[in-house]
Amino acid sequence: MTREEVLQVLREKGDYVSGEQIAGLLGVSRAAVWKQVQTLMREGYQIESHPHRGYRLIAVPDRLYASEVRYGLQTKLIGRRVVHLNTTGSTNTVARQMAEEGVEEGTVVIAETQTRGKGRLGRKWITKPGGVWMSVILKPDIGPAHAAGITLLAAVSVTKALREAGAEAVIKWPNDVLVSDKKICGILTEMSAETDAVSFIVLGIGVNVNNDPPLETATSLKAELGHEVNRVKFVQSLLESLEEDYLTFKERGFEPILWSWRRYSDTLGRPVEVTYQDETIQGIAQDVSASGALIVQLKDGGTRKIVSGDCIHLKRL
Ligand code: BT5
C-alpha cells in the first residue's frame, strides 16, 4: 500500500473516514494506515485526525507532487508517470538519465527548484520557487534533423495553456513564449540520436508561474494576472495540451502543428535580427519550415533558412 492509495480514499470520501475503514479497503493494518497518514502530513497535507471519526483531508500542499499532478489528469501518454523532486541540478539531466535507463515515453520529471537550470548553449536558466520546471521524455519516430519541430510543438502547447490561464501568450522563434513582450517560458529540447533516428528527446519546459520575474526581460503569470494561480491545474492543462499536440503530430506530422505555430507566432512578418554560428543577419521573418527552421527574407531579396539561432524582434517599420 502506498500513501497515494490512502490519499485517494481520503479524497474520494471527502469527509471523515475511519482508520479501520481505510485499512479494510486497502487490505492493511490500521497501524500501516496511520504511518502513511503521517508521511502525508509531513509532505504538507493537512489531515485532521479524530479519535472516533477517523481522518479527514482538509488541504493539499502547494507542491507539484506526482499524486497531485496525476489526480484528475486527462492524458493517456504524457504524465503516465510523474517524478517529483524538491530540488535537483536540472530536470533535463535527471530525465536524460532515466531515458537512458529505458523509462517509458511520456514520463515527466518536475522539480520545485533547480540548482543548475540550463538554457541553450550553456546559458543559465534562473529557477525560483513557485515556477514550473519540468522535463518530458518523448520518443518520436523522426530523424534528428526534425527534432527542432518538437520545440515548436511545445511552444504551441505552452501558449495554449497560458492563454487558458488568462495570459495573452505569443511565440518568439525558436523557443520562447512571451507575454507583454517579456519572456515567460523557455524551452530546451535535447536529444539522443543515431545517424538517422532519434532514440529519445528530453523536452525541458520552464515557466515563470507564481514566482516574481527574475529579470527585467522576464515576466510571470502572477505578474501578468495580478494573482497566484493553482500550479497543479496549470501543469495539468499544459500536459493535456502537450498530449493533444503530440498525438496530432504522431498521426499527421508537423504540418497541423506548424499552422498553430504560425497563428500564435509573434515573429512572423516582423523585421528580425538573427544571430547564428557567429553571423548576424537582419530581414523579415517570412515563415517556418517543416523542420522548425526560420525563413528570413533579406534586403537584397534573397532568403536564408536558419535552423537554430537567437532572434531579436526589431521594431515594425
Ligand atoms: C531557454 O534557453 O530559454 C531554455 C530554458 C529551459 C528551462 C527548462 S526548466 C526545466 C528544464 N531543466 C533545465 O535545466 N532547463 C529546462 P535560452 O533560449 O538559451 O534562454 C536563456 C536566457 O533566458 C538566459 O540567458 C536569460 O537571459 C533568460 N532567462 C533565464 N532564466 C529565465 C527565467 N526564469 N525567465 C525568463 N528568462 C530567463
Among 206, 232, 211, residue whose Cα is nearest residue 44: 232
Candidates 3.40.50.2000, 3.40.50.720, 3.40.50.800, 2.30.30.100; CATH matching 270-313: 2.30.30.100
Q: Which residues pair with 296 in a beta bridge?
A: 285, 304
Query: If you take atom 30 of ligand 1, which residue's CA is the nearest one?
Result: 125
In angstroms, rounded to a whole number, what is the distance separating the alpha carbons of residues 26 and 11? 14
Q: Is the pLDDT of residue 317 over 90?
A: no
CA of 97 to the centre of ligand 1 (A): 21
Q: Is the pLDDT of residue 283 over 80?
A: yes
Report residue 291 as a C-alpha cell. 523542420
What pLDDT was estimated at residue 1?
74
Find out whether 303 and 295 touch, Cβ atoms under 8 Å: yes
Region 122-129: mean pLDDT is: 96
Render pLDDT for 85-107 as a digit per residue (tens, 0 to 9). 999 999 999 999 999 999 999 99
CA of 228 to the centre of ligand 1 (A): 21
CA of 304 to the centre of ligand 1 (A): 26
CA of 258 to the centre of ligand 1 (A): 23
pTM value is: 0.95
What pLDDT was estimated at residue 2?
86
In angstroms, rounded to a whole number, what is the distance separating the alpha carbons of residues 280 and 147? 23
Residue appearing with cell numbers 492509495: 5
Region 20-48: mean pLDDT is: 95
Helix (H) or strand (E) holding 273: strand 271-276
Where along the chain do its domains lie? 3-59, 66-264, 270-313
CA of 107 to the centre of ligand 1 (A): 21
Query: If you take atom 3 of ligand 1, which residue's CA is the nearest one?
Result: 186
In angstroms, rounded to a whole number, what is the distance separating the alpha carbons of residues 227 and 42? 27
Per-residue confidence band for 172, with pLDDT thresholds at 50, 70 and 90: very high
> Mind giving me the DSSP string for 110-139?
EEEEESS-B-GGG-B----TTSEEEEEEE-
- Residue 119's CB is within 10 A of a number of other CB atoms, namely 15
Q: Is the pLDDT of residue 164 over 80?
A: yes
CA of 126 to the centre of ligand 1 (A): 6
Query: If you take atom 16 of ligand 1, which residue's CA is the nearest one?
Result: 204
Among 17, 20, 55, residue whose Cα is nearest residue 39: 55
Helix (H) or strand (E) holding 199: strand 198-207
Strands 198-207 and 182-193: antiparallel
Query: If you take atom 25 of ligand 1, which residue's CA is the nearest one?
Result: 123
In angstroms, rounded to a whole number, what is the distance separating the alpha carbons of residues 43 and 125? 27
Query: If you take atom 35 of ligand 1, which residue's CA is the nearest one?
Result: 218
In angstroms, rounded to a whole number, what is the distance separating the alpha carbons of residues 32 and 235? 32
In angstroms, rounded to a whole number, what is the distance separating the alpha carbons of residues 291 and 64? 33
Q: Hey, what CATH topology would domain 66-264 get?
A: BirA Bifunctional Protein; domain 2 (3.30.930)
Render pLDDT for 47-86 as a digit per residue (tens, 0 to 9). 999 999 999 999 999 999 999 999 999 999 999 999 999 9
CATH number of 3-59: 1.10.10.10
Report residue 4 as a C-alpha cell. 497515494
In angstroms, rounded to a whole number, what is the distance separating the alpha carbons of residues 207 and 158? 9
Query: If you take atom 34 of ligand 1, which residue's CA is the nearest one?
Result: 126
Amino acid in the structure at residue 98? M
Q: Is the pLDDT of residue 162 over 80?
A: yes
Region 123-127: mean pLDDT is: 98
By most ligand atoms within 8 Å of CB, the mutation choice from 116, 124, 125 for ligand 1 is 125
Residue 276, CB-side half-sphere exposure with 13 Å CA sphere: 17
- Report the pocket of ligand 1 as residue ranges, CB < 6 Å: 90-92, 114, 117-121, 123, 125-126, 133-135, 175, 183, 186-188, 204-206, 208, 214-215, 218
Q: Is the pLDDT of residue 140 over 80?
A: yes
Sheet holding 303-306, edge to edge: 303-306, 294-297, 279-288, 271-276, 310-313
Helix (H) or strand (E) holding 176: strand 176-179
Render pLDDT for 184-193 as a digit per residue (tens, 0 to 9). 999 999 999 9
Residues 6+ apart with CB under 8 A from 165: 221, 225, 229, 234, 237
CA of 20 to the centre of ligand 1 (A): 49
Q: What is the mean pLDDT of the chain?
A: 96
